[in-house]
C-alpha cells in the first residue's frame, strides 16, 4: 500500500466470487504472506471465501493485463458493530497506489463504521491508515516459543481431569463455556454453532488435540485448550494455541497454566512439532504475563484500525 496516487488498476465490486477468482485471491494471499512473514487474511475471512453463501463484499484490483494486484474483503454481517475489512496487495504492485485505490473502494462500498486489520503491522498500512483518518484501536500479538526445551508439568487442580473433545456430544456445552470464558471478547465470545461446525470439518481438525478440563464428579466443563497444526507446502510445520479458555468460576486455581502446558506437550510429543505460536490481545495483560512465564516471546503485531 502507498500514499501515492492510484495507478490504472481497475477495482471491481462483487457480492460473490467464482471458484477461479477465489483461487486467485488465495494465491495472492500466499504470495503476500510469504513476502511479509504474516498472512494478510485471517482464518475468518478464509473460511468465508470458501463459503459461497457467506454475505460479504469483495473488491478486486486488476492491472491492465488482467493480473490480480489486490483484494479487499468486507464482512457485512454486523454493520452496527462495524464492517470488518481485510486488504492485501501483491508485493510486486505495492507503492503504486493499489492499496489506496482499494481503500477508496472500501469507503465507497461501506455504510457505517469500519474495523480494518493490518496483519503484521506493515508500515505502509500504518501510513495509509493515518492518511485516511483511521485510528489505531487494538493490537493483537503473535507470540512464539520453541518446544525443544523443557515444558512445565501440567498440574491440574484437585477433582479435575482432562479428556478429548467429542464432536456432536460436547458442542453445546463447549459453546456455552466459550461464551462465558470470552464474554468481553469482540469475536471469540460470539461463536455460533455454525462457527464451531465449520471448524470441526476443516482438514486440520483433530479431536485429540482439543483438550477439555472437566470436573471429575459431575463432568462439567471447566476449561479447554484447542490446538491447531499449520502445514503449508514449502513452510515448516508449526503448532498453535488456537483457543484456550477457562470458566470464570474456575479462575485462580492454575487451570489455565495446566491446560497450556498439556496442549504444548501434545503438540510436541504427539504431533512432533518443535515450535508453537498463539495470538493474544495486548490489553489482556494477565494472559500475556502467563504466556511469557511459559516461555513465549513476541513475534509480530496485528493492528485493528477503526473509522467512524
Does 119 carry a binding-site annotation?
no
Does 288 carry a binding-site annotation?
no
Does 187 carry a binding-site annotation?
yes
H or E element at residue 172: helix 171-181
**Can you read off the three cell numbers belonging to residue 61?**
484490483
Q: Which of 40, 45, 38, 39 minimizes the C-alpha distance to 17?
A: 45
Distances (CA, A) of 229 to 15, 71, 278: 32, 27, 11
Does 240 carry a binding-site annotation?
yes
- Residue 217 half-sphere exposure, CB side, CA atoms within 13 Å? 2
**Interaxial angle between packed helices 285-293 and 255-265, expressed in degrees from 0 to 180 and rounded to the nearest 10:** 50
Does 90 carry a binding-site annotation?
no
Does 257 carry a binding-site annotation?
yes
Calpha distance 257→71 (Å, rounded): 40
Does 89 carry a binding-site annotation?
yes
Does 49 carry a binding-site annotation?
no
Does 229 carry a binding-site annotation?
no
Calpha distance 304→155 (Å, rounded): 36
Does 263 carry a binding-site annotation?
no
**Can you read off the three cell numbers belonging to residue 10?**
481497475
Distance between alpha carbon 283 and the CA centroid of its chain, in Å? 17
Does 252 carry a binding-site annotation?
yes
Does 253 carry a binding-site annotation?
yes
Does 161 carry a binding-site annotation?
no
Dmax (CA) for the chain in angstroms is 67
**Can you read off the three cell numbers belonging to residue 132?**
485516511
Strand order in the sheet with 160-164: 10-14, 56-62, 68-75, 83-89, 114-119, 297-307, 135-146, 275-281, 238-246, 221-230, 210-215, 160-164
Does 120 carry a binding-site annotation?
no
> Which residues partner with 149 through β-bridges?
none
Q: Please give the radius of gyration of the chain, using alpha carbons only, rounded to the nearest integer.
A: 20
The annotation places the binding site for acetyl-CoA at: 87-89, 244-246, 251-257
The annotation places the binding site at: 43, 87-89, 187, 228, 240, 244-246, 251-257, 279
Amino acid at each position: 500500500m502507498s500514499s501515492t496516487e492510484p495507478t490504472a488498476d481497475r477495482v471491481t465490486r462483487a457480492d460473490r466470487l467464482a471458484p477461479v477468482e477465489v483461487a486467485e485471491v488465495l494465491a495472492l494471499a500466499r504470495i503476500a504472506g510469504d513476502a511479509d512473514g504474516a498472512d494478510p487474511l485471517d482464518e475468518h475471512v478464509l473460511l468465508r471465501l470458501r463459503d459461497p453463501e457467506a454475505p460479504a463484499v469483495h473488491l478486486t484490483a486488476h492491472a491492465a493485463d488482467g493480473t490480480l494486484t489486490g483484494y479487499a474483503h468486507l464482512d457485512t454481517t454486523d454493520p452496527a458493530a462495524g464492517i470488518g475489512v481485510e486488504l492485501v496487495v501483491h508485493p510486486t504492485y505495492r507503492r503504486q497506489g493499489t492499496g489506496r485505490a482499494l481503500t477508496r473502494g472500501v469507503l465507497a462500498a461501506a455504510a457505517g463504521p469500519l474495523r480494518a486489520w493490518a496483519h503484521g503491522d506493515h508500515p505502509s498500512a500504518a501510513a495509509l491508515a493515518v492518511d485516511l483518518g483511521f485510528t489505531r484501536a487494538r493490537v493483537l500479538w503473535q507470540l512464539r516459543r520453541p518446544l525443544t526445551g523443557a515444558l512445565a508439568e501440567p498440574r491440574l487442580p484437585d477433582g479435575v481431569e482432562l479428556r478429548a473433545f467429542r464432536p456432536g456430544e460436547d458442542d453445546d456445552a463447549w459453546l456455552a463455556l466459550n461464551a462465558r470464558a470470552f464474554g468481553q471478547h469482540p469475536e471469540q465470545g460470539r461463536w455460533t454453532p455454525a462457527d464451531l461446525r465449520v471448524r470441526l470439518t476443516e482438514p486440520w481438525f483433530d479431536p485429540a488435540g482439543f483438550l477439555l478440563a472437566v470436573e471429575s464428579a459431575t463432568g462439567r466443563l471447566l476449561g479447554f485448550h484447542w490446538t491447531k497444526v499449520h502445514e503449508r507446502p514449502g513452510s515448516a510445520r508449526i503448532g498453535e494455541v488456537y483457543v484456550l479458555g477457562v470458566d470464570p468460576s474456575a479462575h485462580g486455581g492454575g487451570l489455565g497454566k495446566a491446560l497450556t502446558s498439556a496442549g504444548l506437550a501434545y503438540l510436541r510429543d504427539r504431533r512432533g512439532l518443535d515450535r508453537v505460536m498463539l495470538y493474544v490481545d495486548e490489553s489482556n495483560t494477565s494472559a500475556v504475563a502467563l504466556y511469557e512465564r511459559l516461555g513465549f516471546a513476541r513475534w509480530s503485531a496485528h493492528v485493528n484500525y477503526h473509522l467512524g
